Structure formats: C-alpha cells, structure tokens
Structure 1
Amino acid sequence: MTTTVGGSAASRATTRPLDTLPKAHLHLHFTGSMRHETLIDLAVRHGIALPDALRDEWPPHLLATDEKGWFRFQRLYDLARSALVTVDDVRRLVRETVEDEAREGSGWLEIQVDPSGYASRFGGITAFTDLVLDAARDASSLTGVGVGIVIAANRTRHPLDARTLARLAVQYAGRGVVGFGLSNDERRGRPEEFAKAFGIATRAGLGSMPHGGELCGPDSVVGCLDALGATRVGHGVRSAESPALLDRIASAGVPLEVCPASNVALGVYPEPDAIPLRRLFDSGVQIALGADDPLLFGVRLVGQYQLARRLGFSDEELAELARMSVRASTAPSDVRSRLLTGIDDWLAAEPGEGAPEPWSP
C-alpha cells in the first residue's frame, strides 16, 4: 500500500526531521513490534513456513471490518508469534524494538503484551513476564529509552482469564508493569464484562488502558470510560462520531492512543484523508500517536507523524502531539521533563529545506 496526502506549500518547503522529534510511544503490541527481517530470519531458523503475506507480499493486504477479515489478521499475528521459540528470540525482539524506538526519537515506550499467549512455550505467565521485564531493562540500559509494560487481557477469552492477568499485573506494579489493557476484536467481549479485572488492576495503582472505538463506534469508548475507568483509550478514533463524547473526553483529559496507519490498513477509514485526526485535535482531545503493529502494517512511529504532517499538521502542531504523548505516558517525572525540553528545542531549531518524508507503508 502506498498512500500520499497533500500538505500546504509551507509544510512542503520547510519541515523539521520527525525522527529527531522527542516523543513517547504508548500503543505498540509485543509481537507486532517485530522487524519484518527478524521474522523472516527466525522463521528460517526454526523451520516455520510463512504465508506469502508475511514473506514476499509484505506488508499484507488487510481488511478487518468484518469477522472474516479480523480472523485473517489474527491468524497472521499468531503465525508471527510462533516464530518466538527461544528466550534469545524474545530478548532479540525486545532489544530491536527499543533500538528502533531510539532511532525514531522515542524516549519512552509502553509496550502491550498478553503473557497467556506465550505461556506454554516459556514456562507460564509469570516466567514469561519475568523474561520480558528483564529484557526490557537490558534494552533500556543499552539505548537510554525508558520502557513500561502494559499487561493486556484478550477480550475474546473468558473474563476470569482477565482477572488472572490482572492479578499478575498487580504483582509487578511498580516493578516495570505500568498498566492493564484489553485488546483483540472489539466486537467481542463488551467492556462491562471485564470490570472486575480492571478493578483489581486499578486498585493497585495501575493505569486502565483498554482498546475501544476503532472497529466499534463511540459506545465502545463510553463502555471503557464507564465500566473500566479508562485512564487512556487504545484507538478511540471513532469518538469523533459523537460530539458529546468528544466534549466528555476533552473535559476529562482522557488521552486517545490513535494509530492512523492501522486505521487505514484495517479498513476503518478508506484513506488517510478520512481519518478524523484534525477533528480530534481541534476538539481539545489529548492524542498519543501509536504504531499498533508495525510488523503487519509496515509503518512505525515516525510514519504516524509523517501521516499527520500530510494531513496538514504544522511543525508546531506535531510538537504538541509529541507533548501530548509524553504527558499521557506513565514515564517518571524526570523523563517527562527531559522529553518536553527536547520537544521545545526541536521546535526552536531552524527547519530544513526540502520535501517532507514520504508516508509509504
């Protein structure tokens, strides 16, 4: 998929490099963060046959607006996850992901993982969580990028499973786990069904970070707010369809983790011009741009900022998006201060001459 969106003459003439804009990345899934070349290498190493969509025709053509399309998306994700066979594979994924964040100007990463999807291969949910946290600490020391872990329940599984994961998350509160999430197909598993799990997590001080408002409309976001006490909402982009909800979100200061490239790739919007990013921004909603699953969508974090630039966002507005991502994060105060100062410095620098970077998944 190659998409271009027109920008103003001024934005085409003078733009600052987006990979040097300090930012936080708050919406990234574990296996979905893997480099494509790493997936190919691991598949060869472990004798895993990959479909063309994950090999020669990458990134895959996806459409998840119906259950059949979502099933295909989930199948590809599961196939990619099967390439993680050894402890070293997991450590490599985490290290390379954090290295990629450093190259893209991200000083803080919150990566989401459902340990139950890896437990059978890595000694259980606790052992796998220990492994991820240890790998994250090593990668952070290597790169200088802070890393927080969001443990996420799968909304297609029984709510009792979510309670088990919430208790797991609580064990690591203050020790690298920063939040509790809810992912997978929004059309299955209403937020209300997971209220007890989120209660367990939030009483321990963890952030409530469920997905809502991408495949389903504004009502799914309302469910996240009312039933789960969401402190952030994963995606939430379709809140734009309800002026009353937009006002509520803006007034409450609940950030939305908006992933523009995946919205287009999954068919939520037919083209970038249809994404209501401008409407969300102008309504006063706090926005943290995220890459979701770069392994399947072909676009990492800088690509989301490139897309916003193509939608007409000025450097001043892109800097404000970056500030919003930092303020919406769970990063320690010193990390926030450093990143916010870096954003001001980026904006104070003279812009470079030339055309903006292409957005090409």
Structure 2
Amino acid sequence: MAREVRAAREIRELPKAHLHLHFTGSMRPGTLLELADRHGIHLPEALTSGEPPRLRATDERGWFRFQRLYDIARSCLRTPEDIHRLVREAAEEDAADGSGWLEIQVDPTSYAPRLGGLIPTLEIILDAVRTASRDTGVGMAVVVAANRMKHPLDARTLARLAVRYADQGVVGFGLSNDERRGLARDFDRAFAIAREGGLIAAPHGGELSGPASVRDCLDDLHAQRVGHGVRAAEDPRLLKRLADRGVTCEVCPASNVALGVYDKPEDVPLRTLWDAGVPMALGADDPLLFGSRLAAQYDLARTVHGFTDAELAVLARQSVEASCAPAAKKAELLAGIDKWLAAGA
C-alpha cells in the first residue's frame, strides 16, 4: 500500500501574537511609494526597486545606511490619515498571517514635528490602533520606545508619556536603535518610571552586540522581554538565566540575516534557544526593509530549522503568553492554537 502523503498545516491559520514590529517598518512598499508621491518626497532606488535593499549593519557605515533608509521612509508619514492607513494595513497584514494580537513599537518623537507634538502624535497613533483593531478583529496595543542615540532625559519624558496612556492602549516601554551606542544603565530611570506605571520592559539587546547587552537588559532595565536576544546563544549560563526567569526573546530571523548578524538563515540560533528552554516570540521587525512578514518567520523555523507543527504551536503559545493581551484574548488564541494542532494536516 502506498504511503499517504499529508500536506503540512497552513502556517497562516496558526493563531499567534506579534510582539516585535516597528511602526514605519511595518509599511507596505506600495504604500510608501504612494505616500512619497503624494508628499513630493524623492525616494532612493533602494526603496523603489521592488526588492528589499541589501543591508549589512554590523559596522557603523552599514547601520547608518539602514537608519537613513528608515528615516526617509518615516518622513513620508505626515498626516493623521497616513498614520491611520499604516496602522490599518499593518493589522490587515497580521490578520492574513494568523496574528490575533499585535503590539506595534513606536518612538512618537520622530513623528511629533509634523503632527503637532508628542501628545497629539501618540493620541493619533492610539486612535488609529483602536480603529484598526475594531475593523480587522486583530487586538492591538502600543509599545513606546526610546532611542539609544538620544539623551536619557528624552527617554524619561517618553516613559512618563507612555505611563500617562497606560490605560488607553500603551502596554510597554522599549529601547531601540544601535545597541552598540548608549549604555543600558543610562536609561534605568526611564525604565523604572515605566515599570512603576504598570508597563512591561521590552528593550532591544543581543542583536548587534553580544551576550553582555542581553545581561545589561536584565540587570539594569529588568527586562521582561528582550527585543532579539539571539546573541544570548553564545553564553550557556545566560541562556539558563533567561529560561529560568521566563524572559521571552522576540526573535526576528529574517531581520538577523538581512542585517548581517548571521550570514545564512540556518545560522540563526533558533534551536539553541529552543533547546535551552528560552521562550521565543517570532517577529518580522521591519518588513518594509527586510521583505518578509510574520508567517514567513514561522515558515523559516519549519523549513530551515526543522520545527515540527507541534513545536510551531509551542512557539505560537509562547508569543501569546508573553504578550500583554487581555486574558480573554489570550484564552481565545490559545484555544485556537490547540484547535490548529488537533485538526491535523
């Protein structure tokens, strides 16, 4: 009797949460072109070719190029309507990829000059999040992120702003940009403000810098989640610490390769973190620049790293459990994951 061949379960039907998505980086390439044309902004060929730009940010020149492209794209977001469109489309893309909960990360400082200041900017973003969530069915929240390249006092201002809107859709406080610049401990007071205000601490670490940057996130900022965190794989004791504390790493495999953190998809240490028991939440980071969204990260785990459907379901559960979704939303998504796995191929 011929052996029955069964198709793999559809990854886009696996319920999941998306915890590492940057605001401008979530934009659709076609939307960027339309907004640039509308606002009379010249885009470099790297953003108009239809292909993800070739990036390698492991040296300062490469990071500067990446940041320059991101800043140019961000300059195309000039009106409340632009913000609403970006958020709605991000939610639509996540819904198509099976995400039932999205925490989008943003530094409102970058948009404030065109939108009337920090408070109006965050209120526009939160209004867009509420509207997009209502229209798409994807639960959404905001992580306000400070910039390592700016003064720590700026981070404190953002932390106070984030806490002010903690009951209106802000759930976390982050720290982004080049982790090789700015010591984590310089931002400890900002994170203390955020934690005291009920927000989770979710700084970046362990991407462009090694395990020490992850330890700094734990020791100095009391991180509950770490953005990326993959370089922890180089330190077995740090892996055990993450696992023992249940600190989730927001792992973005395609981003890691695109920025040159690892040369090939198979080099991303998903299995090392998995085997050490470190919780992971796969994320797309900046799809505009890296060319792939959330479901593609799960597909990479399956096809490159050999994760079974049962293991993919665990990854999806870990993303939900590490999220700030309300209890009812978590229960809904976890039940959906169990149903996906039980349904078979």
Preserved CA contact (<8 Å) 1:115 1:151: yes
Preserved CA contact (<8 Å) 1:52 1:58: no
Q: Which residue of 2 aligns with 1:35?
A: 28
Residue 327 (structure 1) aligned with residue 321 (structure 2): yes
Preserved CA contact (<8 Å) 1:247 1:283: yes
Q: Which residue of 1 aligns with 2:331?
A: 337
Which structure 2 residues correspond to residues 1-361 of structure 1 after superposition, within 5 A?
Answer: 14-56=7-49, 58-310=51-303, 311-351=305-345
Aligned CA RMSD, in angstroms, stands at 1.1
Cα offset for 1:312?
0.4
TM-score normalised according to structure 2 size: 0.98
Deviations 1:60-100 (A, max 9, x none): 00000001000000000000001112111111001111111
Task: State the alpha-carbon separation in 2 of the partners of residues 145 and 248 from structure 1.
Answer: 33
Task: State the alpha-carbon separation in 1 of the partners of residues 138 and 266 from structure 2.
Answer: 32
Cα offset for 1:198?
0.4
SS in 2 for 1:14: coil
Cα offset for 1:175?
1.4
TM-score normalised according to structure 1 size: 0.93
Cα offset for 1:219?
0.3
Runs of 4+ in 1 over 3 A off after TM superposition: none
Q: Which residue of 2 aligns with 1:354?
A: none
Q: Compare relative contact order (CA 8 Å, sep 6+) and give the higher one, 1 or 2.
A: 1
SS in 1 for 2:227: strand
Cα offset for 1:45?
1.3
Supply the AA of the counterpart residue of 1:330: C
Cα offset for 1:212?
0.2
Deviations 1:241-270 (A, max 9, x none): 000000000000000000000000000000
Task: State the alpha-carbon separation in 2 of the partners of residues 87 and 108 from structure 1.
Answer: 23
Unaligned stretches of 5+ residues in structure 2: none
Task: State the alpha-carbon separation in 1 of the partners of residues 41 and 74 from structure 2.
Answer: 11
Task: State the alpha-carbon separation in 1 of the partners of residues 214 and 181 from structure 2.
Answer: 14
Preserved CA contact (<8 Å) 2:29 2:50: no
Cα offset for 1:18?
0.6
Paired residue total: 341
Over the matched positions of the two proteins, sequence identity in percent amounts to: 64
SS in 2 for 1:329: coil
Deviations 1:303-345 (A, max 9, x none): 1001101110011100100000000000000000000000000
Task: State the alpha-carbon separation in 2 of the partners of residues 128 and 147 from structure 1.
Answer: 17
Assess, with a 3 A threshold, how the Cα gap between structure 1 residues 67 and 13 changes in structure 2: closer, same or farther: farther
Cα offset for 1:186?
0.6
Task: State the alpha-carbon separation in 1 of the partners of residues 183 and 235 from structure 2.
Answer: 19
Task: State the alpha-carbon separation in 1 of the partners of residues 168 and 257 from structure 2.
Answer: 36
Supply the AA of the counterpart residue of 1:288: A
Task: State the alpha-carbon separation in 1 of the partners of residues 171 and 50 from structure 2.
Answer: 36
Task: State the alpha-carbon separation in 1 of the partners of residues 264 and 50 from structure 2.
Answer: 21
Cα offset for 1:350?
2.4
Supply the AA of the counterpart residue of 1:28: L
SS in 2 for 1:289: coil
Supply the AA of the counterpart residue of 1:231: Q
Task: State the alpha-carbon separation in 1 of the partners of residues 116 and 32 from structure 2.
Answer: 22
Task: State the alpha-carbon separation in 2 of the partners of residues 346 and 220 from structure 1.
Answer: 37
Supply the AA of the counterpart residue of 2:26: S
Cα offset for 1:58?
2.4
Q: Which residue of 2 aligns with 1:356?
A: none
Supply the AA of the counterpart residue of 2:171: V
